[in-house]
């Protein structure tokens, strides 16, 4: 899971359709999850609440 989240962070940093605020908020949340080691289902639910634009990235790395 940690590797997938690290990969997701890289995708987010390079995403052209997300605002800098969306990127920042999402990356902060991922960093929190890496520290807390949250369950996969919780992570997916919370990420999609932050930005619907993240769904294709979640699918690409196998979280959806």
Q: Is the pLDDT of residue 15 over 80?
A: yes
pLDDT digits (tens, 9 = 90+) for 24-58: 998 998 888 777 766 666 777 888 887 888 888 88
Task: Tell me if 15 is assigned to some domain.
Answer: no
Range of the domain at 42: 2-9+20-60
Per-residue pLDDT, averaged over 8-23, amounts to: 91
Q: What is the pLDDT of residue 43?
A: 77
Task: Tell me if 14 is assigned to some domain.
Answer: no
Look at the chain and report how many structural domains it folds into: 1
User: Following DSSP, what letter does each residue of the chain receive, concatenated?
Assistant: -HHHHHHHHHHHHH-SSS-HHHHHHHHHHHHHHHHHT--HHHHHHHHHHH-GGGHHHHHHTT--
Q: What is the pLDDT of residue 45?
A: 82
- Give the predicted TM-score (pTM) of the model: 0.60
Q: What is the pLDDT of residue 21?
A: 94
């Amino acid at each position: 899971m940690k590797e997938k989240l690290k990969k997701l962070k890289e995708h987010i940093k390079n995403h052209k359709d997300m605002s800098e605020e969306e990127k920042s908020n999402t990356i902060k949340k991922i960093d929190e999850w890496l520290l807390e080691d949250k369950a996969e289902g919780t992570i997916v639910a919370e990420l999609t609440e932050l930005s619907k634009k993240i769904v294709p990235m979640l699918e690409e790395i196998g979280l959806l």
